[in-house]
């Protein structure tokens, strides 16, 4: 484990990715201690950046820096929620199906394929047209998580299937280990690095999905997220009137955050995968 | 590893944002056509904001035909009279207003009026539309028979037809609404529709016809072609009104094209790029588009002529909204100035208490003394005091935000939601600010943005705590009566779950405790009053009752239509400096005459 970590730390792209990621997380978690986050109405509509409001204000005169901190927290929350749900669900189903094989595997595959073709957008539109109390950030995270676990399931299933004929599994079986024990103690550890990389990708895709969904106006209605900031900029004419502070910082933060996660993923693959290891 | 390009998504996302940010959305259809030469830009007027969905039908007998056969548009099918929303006066169209009284309204048909197939427009056409409800319950104009008992036809000295619309005394007895009809109900060619009705035997069958191929119309333009992207009208050079109403001139634009975009921002960008000549959509910070040639009625705040009142309708059947004190506290808690400045770009004059506008056509019915005495203006302390006096207690969290409310009996007050359509950007901002104000005063209210479909469903059945509406949003001869009726009338009171088309907040249950009879008596007597002093007095009383009872929360004044035009292709638009036509787009009411005054820009 320490060796792996050492190898990781030797990879410059991992350092860059991790650095960027920690920077954004740090921004979300620590900045509120140094910066007074205030989402109240403080200035005129789209006040431009000045000494008091470093990144200007939004259409309602709310401080953009506060909005971005709040938005970043929301986006990270959705990303992590999505990542946990999608990875847990996908790994559990994939590992079980892949290991069991037979009709069980076919069934899991069927369910996976079924979910694979349901776009989260459609689910969101349907849900938002039936919920009168509106959409919350958690609901958005849940929906994204519950509709994007499929590719983790597929990837894990393939790996689990290749592991099931290994000798140590047969030994564990002879020793009387039940399926649950085999899966958790003898297969999952082999896939841990792999699952972790899936998790990172799921977090990234969760953040992007939230931004995309919010941008077209289907985002959370009770919270500020990076996506809703972009949606407001679009709806309130921020793009057309050249209010760069209304959309540029949020765009940059999303890009940096997701970019960091993807670099982490790639660099980890380079370290974990023996064939790619230098 | 996942078979997915790892950098693809973030790069594509970034790219998308840059494209939308800098290249200003997808190219509107107009520009390509100019290049293709199909409709020369200099001969075409591009108008927007009145058709959002796919145009399904141009049949004027259906309930929801496409532009310009719907709403108060009169460039294909015309109304008897045109209403000038600026002066409050009628102007001649198919007919001329001769006289009006509490019993009847008299209109003389213009003998020159002709259909596009050469047939004259006659009293038979008028009677056909107004009396269709006597034959078919499902007629779109069936409501007319409750208001007009009969149309008597006589001849004038110069052999024109004189139509006397008899007010239905046994029905609604409302001459005001009859006046509304004259400028809203489009006259249709009976000689075209009667044979169709005879042939198909049923109105429902006739309503299925699309009427989209060379329809017989009386107006200055006719449908040329349409698709899901645009509706194209072509000028009728043989229009009867050219000689009879416009001194022999032809209307300026040869074509009128209404492109169908999906969102307000697309219209805003198209207008700034001169791909649209006018749009009635909400565009924030219109003054920033001045350099692009965009002009509004006033060239400074409020930019537009107020005509409608975005209002929070209160469901009076739900606790604690059933409590008058609670409703009044809400009215005191809202920062109307911030709504005006931040949510609607300053497009509203400062709001006054009550439901009557203090300026324009309604100014005479507004009384400032009453407003001072009975009305609620923004004052957080007053709001808090009213709540405390009524026994409500607000519990705030450590960070100063509202946690919950407890009523006089120690029971928690449920969180109230403001229902408003998601994506209506100006309304979203208005609601956000209203909620902010009320929460700061300790009232537990939240935004409840919902899908537009859900919003429309909830309205007639009263399925809301608070709901954003624009009561009687058109500027018509019956204002402000129609707005007050829309907010307060118990004439058709029905319990929540059943449909109501006015007072959907179900204020003043006629069978309930504390029913205020005066509200309904005033609402039924006002339309019949002809004495100016009595009328003013009645409006005063009604507005006082509104302020005392606060059945709804008017939030700001917005125009009936956002009148914003680009002067780069067409000039000589009406404006404050040149008010020859009212501030409507040149396809509605008396604003249509602008079409004859527009001149191509050099």
B516-571 residue pLDDT tens: 999 999 999 999 998 999 999 999 999 999 999 999 999 999 999 999 999 999 99
Q: Residue A276 — pLDDT band, cuts 50, 70, 90?
A: low
* Alpha-carbon torsion angle A42, A43, A45, A46, nearest 10: -100
Q: What is the CATH number of the domain that holds B596?
A: 3.40.190.10
Contact between B61 and B44 under an 8 Å Cβ cutoff? The reply is no
Would you tell me how many other CB atoms lie within 10 Å of the CB of residue B227?
Answer: 11
Q: Name the percent of chain B lying above pLDDT 70.
A: 94
Task: Enter the tokens of residue B472.
Answer: 């009687």
Task: Enter the tokens of residue B454.
Answer: 């859900």
Q: Residue A278 — pLDDT band, cuts 50, 70, 90?
A: low
* B199 within a domain of the structure (yes/no): no
* B160 within a domain of the structure (yes/no): yes
Distances (CA, A) of B315 to A134, B377, B393, B503: 19, 21, 21, 9
* A32 within a domain of the structure (yes/no): no
How close B236 gets to chain A, by Cα (Å)? 37
Query: Which positions in chain B touch A151 (Cβ < 8 Å)?
Result: 2, 4
For position A130, what pLDDT does the model report? Answer: 67
Do residues B178 and B92 both lie within one domain?
Answer: yes
* Mean pLDDT of the residues in chain B: 90
- Phi and psi of B561, rounded to 5°? -130, 140
Kindly state the helix (H) or strand (E) to which residue A204 belongs, with its residue range.
helix A188-215
Cα separation of B376 and B441, whole Å? Answer: 14
For position A129, what pLDDT does the model report? Answer: 62
Distances (CA, A) of A185 to A156, A181, A189, B58, B101: 16, 6, 7, 70, 92
Q: Which residues contact B301 (CB under 8 A, 6 or more apart)?
A: B346, B347
pLDDT of B34 above 80: no
Q: Where are the beta strands (DSSP E) in B61-179?
A: 81-84, 89-92, 95-100, 104-109, 148-155, 161-167
For position B274, what pLDDT does the model report? Answer: 93
pLDDT of A241 above 70: yes
How close B554 gets to chain A, by Cα (Å)? 20
- CA angle at B392 for the pair B387 and B394, rounded to the nearest 5°: 95
Tokens 């599994």, located at residue? A169
Mean pLDDT of the region B264-274:
89
Do residues B570 and B504 both lie within one domain?
Answer: no
Do residues B60 and B151 both lie within one domain?
Answer: no
* B392 within a domain of the structure (yes/no): yes
Contact yes or no for B1 and A248 at CB 8 A = no
Task: Enter the tokens of residue B127.
Answer: 């009677």
Mean pLDDT of the region A253-259:
93
Mean pLDDT of the region B285-311:
93
For position B26, what pLDDT does the model report? Answer: 38
CA dihedral over B407, B445, A61, B353, signed as positive or negative: negative
pTM above 0.90, yes or no: no
User: Is B284's Cβ below 8 Å from some Cβ in A?
Assistant: yes
Q: Higher confidence at residue A153 or residue A278?
A: A153
How close B6 gets to chain A, by Cα (Å)? 6
Do residues B322 and B369 both lie within one domain?
Answer: yes
User: Is B20's Cβ below 8 Å from some Cβ in A?
Assistant: yes
Cα separation of B172 and B525, whole Å? Answer: 11
* A147 within a domain of the structure (yes/no): yes
Q: Is A46 left (phi over 0), alpha (psi -120 to 50) or beta?
A: left
The alpha carbon of residue A47 and the mean position of all alpha carbons in its chain are separated, in whole angstroms, by 32
Mean pLDDT of the region B439-451:
89
Cα separation of B360 and B337, whole Å? Answer: 21
Do residues B102 and B235 both lie within one domain?
Answer: no
User: Is B400's Cβ below 8 Å from some Cβ in A?
Assistant: no
* B243 within a domain of the structure (yes/no): yes
User: Is B19's Cβ below 8 Å from some Cβ in A?
Assistant: no
For position B549, what pLDDT does the model report? Answer: 95
* A77 within a domain of the structure (yes/no): yes
The alpha carbon of residue B178 and the mean position of all alpha carbons in its chain are separated, in whole angstroms, by 18
How close A203 gets to chain B, by Cα (Å)? 13
Burial of A178 (0-12, 13-18, 19+ CB in 10 A): exposed
Question: What does the pLDDT look like over B335-374, one tens digit per residue?
Answer: 999 999 999 999 999 999 999 999 988 999 999 999 999 9
* A20 within a domain of the structure (yes/no): yes
Contact yes or no for A205 and B9 at CB 8 A = yes
Cα separation of B215 and B219, whole Å? Answer: 11
Q: Closest-CA residue in chain A for B416?
A: A133
Cα separation of A194 and A272, whole Å? Answer: 8
Do residues B468 and B591 both lie within one domain?
Answer: no
Do residues B382 and B429 both lie within one domain?
Answer: yes
Mean pLDDT of the region A178-204:
87
Would you tell me how many other CB atoms lie within 10 Å of the CB of residue B236?
Answer: 20
How close B408 gets to chain A, by Cα (Å)? 26
Q: Higher confidence at residue A106 or residue A133?
A: A106
pLDDT of B82 above 50: yes
Distances (CA, A) of B201 to A73, B103, B125, B562: 65, 35, 19, 42
Count how many domains chain A has.
1
Nearest C-alpha neighbor of A130 from the set B461, B423, B450, B447: B450
Q: What is the CATH number of the domain that holds B395?
A: 3.10.105.10
* A73 within a domain of the structure (yes/no): yes
Query: Which positions in chain B touch A218 (Cβ < 8 Å)?
Result: 422
Mean pLDDT of the region B306-335:
95
- Phi and psi of A228, rounded to 5°? -70, -30
Distances (CA, A) of A273 to A151, A159, A199, B8, B460: 19, 13, 17, 22, 63
* B214 within a domain of the structure (yes/no): no
Q: Higher confidence at residue A184 or residue B116?
A: B116
Q: Name the percent of chain A lying above pLDDT 70.
A: 95
* B553 within a domain of the structure (yes/no): yes
Count how many domains chain B has.
3
| ipTM of the shown complex | 0.74
- Expressed as residue numbers, the domain containing A108 is 14-27+58-272
How close A217 gets to chain B, by Cα (Å)? 6
Nearest C-alpha neighbor of B434 from the set B338, B319, B503, B315: B338
Q: Closest-CA residue in chain A for B422?
A: A217
pLDDT of A178 above 90: no
Do residues B458 and B536 both lie within one domain?
Answer: yes
Q: Among B425, B453, B456, which would you mutate to test the A interface (most chain A Cβ atoms within 10 Å of its Cβ)?
A: B425
pLDDT of A64 above 50: yes
Q: Among B422, B453, B562, which would you mutate to test the A interface (most chain A Cβ atoms within 10 Å of its Cβ)?
A: B422
* A7 within a domain of the structure (yes/no): no
Cα separation of B418 and B449, whole Å? Answer: 7
| Maximum Cα–Cα distance across chain B | 91
Would you tell me how many other CB atoms lie within 10 Å of the CB of residue B573?
Answer: 26
Do residues B569 and B549 both lie within one domain?
Answer: no
Nearest C-alpha neighbor of A74 from the set A84, A63, A86, A82: A82
Contact yes or no for A251 and B338 at CB 8 A = no
For position A237, what pLDDT does the model report? Answer: 81
Mean pLDDT of the region B291-304:
93
* A4 within a domain of the structure (yes/no): no
- Expressed as residue numbers, the domain containing B118 is 81-194
For position B12, what pLDDT does the model report? Answer: 45
Q: Which of residues 430-449 of B touch A (CB under 8 A)?
A: 432-433, 436, 446-449
Contact between B193 and B124 under an 8 Å Cβ cutoff? The reply is no
Contact between A141 and A85 under an 8 Å Cβ cutoff? The reply is yes
Q: Closest-CA residue in chain B for A205?
A: B9
- CA angle at B189 for the pair B183 and B190, rounded to the nearest 5°: 115
Residue B559 three-state SS? strand
* A41 within a domain of the structure (yes/no): no
* B22 within a domain of the structure (yes/no): no
Do residues B51 and B86 both lie within one domain?
Answer: no
Q: Closest-CA residue in chain B for A57?
A: B342
Query: Which positions in chain A touch B269 (Cβ < 8 Å)?
Result: 240
Q: Which residue from B265, B338, B454 is facing A235, i.e. has the nearest CB?
A: B265
* B12 within a domain of the structure (yes/no): no
Question: What does the pLDDT look like over B411-443, one tens digit per residue?
Answer: 999 999 999 987 788 898 999 999 999 999 999
Distances (CA, A) of A150 to A85, A90, A205, B6, B124: 11, 6, 13, 17, 67
Q: What is the CATH number of the domain that holds A257?
A: 1.10.3720.10
* DSSP-derived secondary structure letter, A63: B
Q: Which residues contact B571 (CB under 8 A, 6 or more apart)?
A: B598, B599, B600, B601
User: Is B287's Cβ below 8 Å from some Cβ in A?
Assistant: no
Q: Residue A134 — pLDDT band, cuts 50, 70, 90?
A: low
For position B6, what pLDDT does the model report? Answer: 41
Do residues B391 and B517 both lie within one domain?
Answer: yes
For position A15, what pLDDT does the model report? Answer: 92
For position B30, what pLDDT does the model report? Answer: 41
CA dihedral over B480, B482, B485, B491, signed as positive or negative: positive
Question: What does the pLDDT look like over B386-409, one tens digit per residue?
Answer: 999 999 999 998 878 888 999 989
Task: Enter the tokens of residue A231.
Answer: 């949606």
Mean pLDDT of the region B66-92:
93
| Maximum Cα–Cα distance across chain A | 73
Contact yes or no for A45 and B20 at CB 8 A = no
């Amino acid at each position: 484990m320490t060796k792996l970590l050492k190898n990781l730390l030797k990879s410059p792209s991992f350092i860059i990715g991790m650095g960027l990621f920690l920077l954004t997380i740090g921004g979300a978690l620590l900045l509120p201690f140094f910066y007074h986050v205030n989402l109240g109405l403080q200035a005129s509509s789209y006040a431009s950046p000045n000494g008091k409001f470093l990144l200007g204000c939004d259409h309602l005169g709310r401080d953009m820096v506060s909005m971005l901190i709040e938005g970043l927290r929301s986006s990270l929350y959705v990303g992590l929620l999505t990542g946990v749900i999608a990875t847990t669900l996908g790994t559990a189903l994939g590992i079980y199906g892949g290991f069991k094989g037979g009709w069980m595997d076919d069934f899991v595959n069927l369910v996976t394929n079924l979910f694979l073709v349901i776009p989260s957008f459609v689910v969101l539109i349907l849900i938002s047209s039936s919920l009168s109390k509106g959409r919350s950030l958690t609901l958005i995270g849940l929906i994204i998580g519950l509709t994007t676990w499929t590719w983790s399931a597929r990837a894990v299933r393939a790996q689990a299937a290749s592991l099931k004929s290994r000798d140590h599994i047969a030994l564990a079986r002879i020793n009387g280990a039940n399926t649950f024990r085999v899966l958790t103690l003898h297969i999952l550890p082999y896939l841990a690095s792999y699952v972790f990389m899936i998790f990172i990708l799921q977090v990234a895709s969760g953040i992007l999905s939230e931004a995309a969904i919010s941008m077209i106006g289907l985002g959370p209605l009770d919270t500020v997220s990076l996506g809703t900031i972009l949606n407001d900029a679009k709806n309130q004419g921020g793009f057309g009137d050249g209010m760069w502070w209304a959309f540029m910082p949020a765009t940059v933060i999303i890009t940096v955050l997701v970019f960091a996660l993807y670099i982490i993923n790639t660099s980890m693959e380079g370290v974990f995968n023996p064939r790619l290891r230098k | 590893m996942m078979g997915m390009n790892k950098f693809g998504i973030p790069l594509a996302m970034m790219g998308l944002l840059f494209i939308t940010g800098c290249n200003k959305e997808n190219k509107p259809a107009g520009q390509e056509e100019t290049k293709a030469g199909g409709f020369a830009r200099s001969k075409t007027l591009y108008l927007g904001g009145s058709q959002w969905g796919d145009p399904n039908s141009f049949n004027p007998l259906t309930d929801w035909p496409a532009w310009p056969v719907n709403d108060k548009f009169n460039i294909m099918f015309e109304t008897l009279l045109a209403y000038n929303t600026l002066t409050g006066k009628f102007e001649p169209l198919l007919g001329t207003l001769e006289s009006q009284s509490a019993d009847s309204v008299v209109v003389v048909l213009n003998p020159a009026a002709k259909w596009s197939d050469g047939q004259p427009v006659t009293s038979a056409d008028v009677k056909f539309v107004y009396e269709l409800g006597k034959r078919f319950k499902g007629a779109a104009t069936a409501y007319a028979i409750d208001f007009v008992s009969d149309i008597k036809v006589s001849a004038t000295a110069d052999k024109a037809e004189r139509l006397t619309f008899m007010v239905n005394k046994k029905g609604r007895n409302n001459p005001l609404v009859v006046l509304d009809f004259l400028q809203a109900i489009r006259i249709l060619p009976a000689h075209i529709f009667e044979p169709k009705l005879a042939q198909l035997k049923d109105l429902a069958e006739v309503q299925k016809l699309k009427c989209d191929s060379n329809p017989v119309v009386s107006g200055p333009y006719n449908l040329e072609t349409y698709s899901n992207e645009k509706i194209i009208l072509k000028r009728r050079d043989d229009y009867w009104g050219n000689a009879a109403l416009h001194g022999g001139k032809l209307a300026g634009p040869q074509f009128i094209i209404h492109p169908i975009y999906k969102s307000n921002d697309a219209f805003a960008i198209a207008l700034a790029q001169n791909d649209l000549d006018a749009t009635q959509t909400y565009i924030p910070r219109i003054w920033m588009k001045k350099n692009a040639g965009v002009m509004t009625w006033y060239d400074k705040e409020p930019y537009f002529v107020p005509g409608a009142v975005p209002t929070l309708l209160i469901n009076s059947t739900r606790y604690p909204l059933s409590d008058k004190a609670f409703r009044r506290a809400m009215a005191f808690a809202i920062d109307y100035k911030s709504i005006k400045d931040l949510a609607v770009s300053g497009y509203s004059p400062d709001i006054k208490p009550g439901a009557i506008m203090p300026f324009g056509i309604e100014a005479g019915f507004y009384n400032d003394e009453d407003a001072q005495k009975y009305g609620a203006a923004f004052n957080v302390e007053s709001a808090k005091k009213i709540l405390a006096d009524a026994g409500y207690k607000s519990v705030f969290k450590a960070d100063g935000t509202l946690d919950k409310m407890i009523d006089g009996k120690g029971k928690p007050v449920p969180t109230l939601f403001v229902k408003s359509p998601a994506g209506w950007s100006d309304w979203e901002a208005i609601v956000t600010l209203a909620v902010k104000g009320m929460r700061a005063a300790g009232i537990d209210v939240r935004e409840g943005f919902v899908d537009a479909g859900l919003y429309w469903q909830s309205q007639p059945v009263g399925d809301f705590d608070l709901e954003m509406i624009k009561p009687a949003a058109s500027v018509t001869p019956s204002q402000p009566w129609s707005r007050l009726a829309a907010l307060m009338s118990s004439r058709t009171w029905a319990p929540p779950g059943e449909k109501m088309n006015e007072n959907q907040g179900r204020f003043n249950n006629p069978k309930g405790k504390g029913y205020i009879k005066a509200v309904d008596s005033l609402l039924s007597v006002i339309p019949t009053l002809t004495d100016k002093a009595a009328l003013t007095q009645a409006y005063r009383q009604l507005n006082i009752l509104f302020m005392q009872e606060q059945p709804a929360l008017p939030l700001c004044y917005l125009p009936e239509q956002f009148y914003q035009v680009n002067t780069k292709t067409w000039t000589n638009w009406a404006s404050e400096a040149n008010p020859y036509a009212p501030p409507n787009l040149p396809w509605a009411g008396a604003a249509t005459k602008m079409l004859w005054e527009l001149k191509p820009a050099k």
